[in-house]
């Protein structure tokens, strides 16, 4: 697992050098939060935990002051942001902080803020090689139950790290397919191993997970479908409730009108 964490750090370090391309100029505090998330992860990698905690606490103060209509996000997107943030905050407040867990949770929050703040090429998209490597390790170890369990748990942790970005950017129907296969493997791994079918089911999962990356685009699906987030082993469950499609459509219309108004004001100023 240590090697997987190192690989995650390497990928994030390389791609976080890129300047994010924001969807529009009406981002409110999103770029600030995204930058602070990057800084918190940076200090955690240097084991400068006091600075990490200070930045996370400052982010908490910033996020707590937001009303639900102050960010260019839907209510559901804000909930995903807040859940990812409080997971990191809770871990930092614990008496004993596991270094690997801290890096993973802060990476998860960083990938979440980036997915919300950028329109193209989100950082989570560059985690494909990492997550596919863990699946390949699980496939190679099907003849050894103990090794398989360790490899599959490593996959689940990486999948959980990337998951907020996936559900924000990928059509939820595709996510549900992969989640269902993960749940099936967790519940039936022993019998599949005895029947010699475990490798086949892992290959199916590989194709499903790869499809999440290859079919990536900003999700315009009904967010009421996001309730389907499935509990799988080491994954942290995101329990979200939703106000319904009508409210979501109203929020999207409000955001579009606000953006249009901003663009008109900017054009008038330029003239």
pLDDT of the residue at 269: 38
What percent of the chain clears pLDDT 70, i.e. is strictly above it? 66
**pLDDT at position 140 over 70:** yes
Q: How does pLDDT run across 96-107, given as a tens digit for each residue?
A: 888 999 999 999
How many domains, the chain? 1
Q: How far apart are CA 222 and CA 1, in angstroms?
A: 36
Per-residue pLDDT tens for 150-161? 999 999 999 999
pLDDT at 217: 54
Alpha helices in the chain (DSSP H): 2-15, 30-45, 49-64, 75-93, 99-117, 128-140, 145-169, 172-195, 198-214, 245-270
What digits encode the pLDDT tens for the residues 43-82? 999 999 999 999 999 999 888 876 655 667 888 888 899 9
Sequence-ordered list of residues with C-beta below 8 angstroms from that of 26, at least 6 positions apart, any chain: 72, 258, 259, 262
- On the question of pLDDT at 111 being above 70, the answer is yes
Is residue 268 in some structural domain? no
- Look up the pTM and report it: 0.71
Highest mean pLDDT among 12-26, 122-136, 251-265 belongs to: 122-136
Q: Bigger pLDDT: 4 or 140?
A: 140
271 domain residue, yes or no: no
Contact 132, 210 (CB under 8 A): yes
* Burial readout 48-68 (b: 16 or more C-beta within 10 A, e: otherwise): eeeebbebbeebeeebeebee
Phi first, then psi: give them for residue 219, nearest 5 degrees: -75, 125
pLDDT of residue 240 exceeding 60, the answer is: no
In a domain, 203, yes or no: yes
CB neighbourhood size of 220 (10 A): 8
Tally of residues, the chain: 271
Domain hosting residue 139, numbered range: 2-258
pLDDT of residue 263 exceeding 90, the answer is no
User: Span 108-120, mean pLDDT?
Assistant: 91
| φ and ψ of 250, to 5 deg | -65, -40
Using the structure block, give the residue that is written with the tokens 């690997």: 100
In this prediction, residue 5 carries a pLDDT of 52
- Asked if residue 265 is part of any domain, the answer here is no
CA angle 186, 237, 213 (to 5 degrees): 75
Per-residue pLDDT reduced to its tens digit, 154-201: 999 999 999 999 999 999 899 999 999 999 999 999 999 999 999 999
Q: 144: Cβ–Cβ under 8 A, 6 or more apart, which residues? A: none
């Amino acid at each position: 697992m240590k090697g997987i964490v190192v690989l995650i750090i390497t990928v994030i370090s390389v791609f976080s050098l890129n300047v994010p391309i924001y969807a529009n100029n009406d981002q409110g505090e999103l770029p600030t939060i995204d930058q602070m998330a990057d800084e918190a992860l940076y200090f955690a990698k240097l084991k400068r935990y006091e600075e990490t905690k200070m930045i996370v606490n400052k982010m908490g103060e910033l996020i707590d002051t937001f009303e639900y209509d102050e960010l260019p996000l839907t209510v559901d997107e804000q909930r995903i942001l807040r859940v990812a943030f409080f997971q990191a905050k809770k871990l930092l407040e614990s008496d004993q902080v596991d270094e690997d867990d801290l890096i993973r949770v802060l990476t998860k929050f960083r990938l979440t803020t980036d997915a919300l703040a950028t329109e193209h090429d989100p950082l989570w998209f560059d985690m494909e090689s990492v997550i596919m490597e863990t699946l390949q390790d699980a496939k190679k170890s099907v003849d050894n139950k103990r090794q398989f369990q360790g490899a599959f748990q490593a996959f689940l942790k990486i999948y959980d790290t990337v998951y907020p970005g996936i559900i924000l950017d990928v059509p939820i129907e595709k996510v549900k397919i992969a989640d269902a296969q993960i749940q099936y493997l967790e519940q039936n791994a022993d019998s599949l191993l005895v029947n010699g079918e475990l490798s086949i089911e892992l290959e199916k999962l590989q194709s499903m997970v790869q499809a999440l990356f290859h079919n990536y685009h900003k999700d315009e699906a009904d967010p009421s479908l996001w309730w389907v987030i499935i509990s799988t082993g080491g994954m942290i469950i995101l329990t979200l409730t939703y106000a319904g499609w009508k409210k979501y459509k109203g929020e999207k219309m409000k955001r579009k009108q606000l953006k249009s108004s901003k663009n008109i004001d900017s054009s008038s100023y330029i003239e």
